[in-house]
Amino acid sequence: MYKLGILEGDDIGLEVVPECVKVMKAAAAKAGLQIEWQPLPIGKRGHESHGHTMPQYTVDALQHVDGWLQGPIGHNAYPRDDPTWINPPLRKKFELFANVKPVKSYPNLPSLHKDVDIVFLRETTEGMQSGSVVFAGSGEFQPNDDIAIGMRVVTRKGASRVAREAFEIARTRKRKKVTALHKEPVYRLVCGMFAQECRKMAKNYPDVEFEEVLIDGFALKLVMKPQQYDVVVTTNQFGDIITDEGAGLVGGLGLAPGLVVGERQAMAQATHGSAPDIAGRNIANPYAMIMSGKMLFEWLGRTRDDAKAAAAAALMDAAVDKVIAEAEHLTGDLGGKSGTTQMGEAIAAAL
Ligand code: NAD
């Protein structure tokens, strides 16, 4: 039996996370997978019930779950005296080291390119995100009014574990290819170390094809011919930018799921924010959150060697494919007329 946390977040999180849970429960029932669900407050509701947007109660409970669903955090809705810094500290505390973001086109949905099926991995514990790389203080400082300085950190441990995750994922896919992105000719030490660790890891996976591409050239190639890529791994800042470009290729934020992976736990979190402009109207697209939940099952299947969790993920994939292909229960951003709940229910029913 797995224990999974439900952290709804704010705004449309309160709408899309319940649809994700609905679909995951239907898939788990069909696959014979046992799950104990634990709702945990964060965001505005955390503040209302426990006086803090990231209550200690929730942080303590997360130590004991196998993974969790996390809706978007709507910073605009917070009381001014409460710290709203939730995602980076959580990543640091639980050592969530890779953000895995698939980008997939569907034949009947509008997208810049067809036949795109890429999984991006962005390292998330180091790089240029200064708050998460230093023990005390900040990786940024400004010695005078004219100069601002930021540092970038790459460690062998950080580079090696995100590379390992990329090769493990590639092994589960048809094309079995990993592309590492860096700019070693310029950033000889930081990008150099990242590249070295990727090359070392590639030797452990002779069944997976490995290539290296410079990040600037990749930005161009991704737009021109994205079909040539399968699994793509890179450092934090490059990944932050390139994954948004990837999502743009296949239809934007509503179609961009994600899983933030640690050594022991994983967090399902869509790329989109809390979309306060459409919150409370039952029009948000639940796809990204539902597919993030699917990725959590996939991860449990792979890392715990659990055929039932893998089956639950495959069932969710097939149900989502069916509902999208039929195009009868899609939200407005996908060209349909259905609400959030109707699309979630259609996917659960397809299971
Ligand atoms: P956003 O992603 O919330 O919205 C951008 C645009 O995309 C909006 O027009 C919105 O309506 C639309 N959109 C987003 N998700 C959608 C969905 N599922 N279905 C249909 N349309 C969707 O980005 P923003 O407006 O820049 O940020 C809003 C709030 O979210 C801010 O407080 C921001 O800090 C926060 N945010 C949180 C996270 C997170 O917690 N992971 C990520 C990004 C932004």
List Cβ neighbours of 327 (8 Å cut-off, separation of 6 or more). Answer: 108, 335, 336
Query: Taking a C-beta distance cutoff of 8 angstroms, is the pair 211, 177 a contact?
Result: yes
| C-alpha 164 – ligand 1 centre gap (Å) | 31
What does the pLDDT read at residue 131?
67
Distance of alpha carbon 72 from alpha carbon 80, whole angstroms: 18
The model's pLDDT over 275-299, given as tens digits with 9 standing for 90+, comes to 999 999 999 999 999 999 999 999 9
Residue having the nearest C-alpha atom to atom 23 of ligand 1: 273
| C-alpha 279 – ligand 1 centre gap (Å) | 10
Distance of alpha carbon 64 from alpha carbon 53, whole angstroms: 20
Which ligand 1 atom sits closest to the C-alpha of 269? 41
Our mutation pick for probing the ligand 1 site, out of 274, 333, 343, counting the most ligand atoms within 8 A of Cβ, is 274
List Cβ neighbours of 288 (8 Å cut-off, separation of 6 or more). Answer: 16, 253, 254, 255, 256, 257, 258, 270, 271, 272
| C-alpha 275 – ligand 1 centre gap (Å) | 4
| C-alpha 259 – ligand 1 centre gap (Å) | 17
The reply to whether the predicted model has a pTM over 0.75 is yes
The model's pLDDT over 187-246, given as tens digits with 9 standing for 90+, comes to 999 999 999 999 999 999 999 999 999 999 999 999 999 999 999 999 999 999 999 999
Query: Taking a C-beta distance cutoff of 8 angstroms, is the pair 340, 285 a contact?
Result: yes
Strands of the sheet with 177-182, listed across from one edge = 35-39, 2-7, 67-70, 266-268, 259-261, 98-104, 117-123, 231-234, 177-182, 209-214
Q: Is the pLDDT of residue 302 over 90?
A: yes
Task: Give residues (CB < 6 A) around ligand 1.
Answer: 12, 16, 72-76, 87, 253-254, 269, 272-278, 284-285, 288, 333
Query: Taking a C-beta distance cutoff of 8 angstroms, is the pair 42, 68 a contact?
Result: no
Distance of alpha carbon 301 from alpha carbon 145, whole angstroms: 52
Looking at residue 338, the DSSP 8-state letter turns out to be: B
- Reading the block at residue 194, the tokens are 């990242």
Beta-ladder partners of 260: 99, 267
Lowest mean pLDDT: which of 36-40, 214-218, 270-274?
A: 270-274
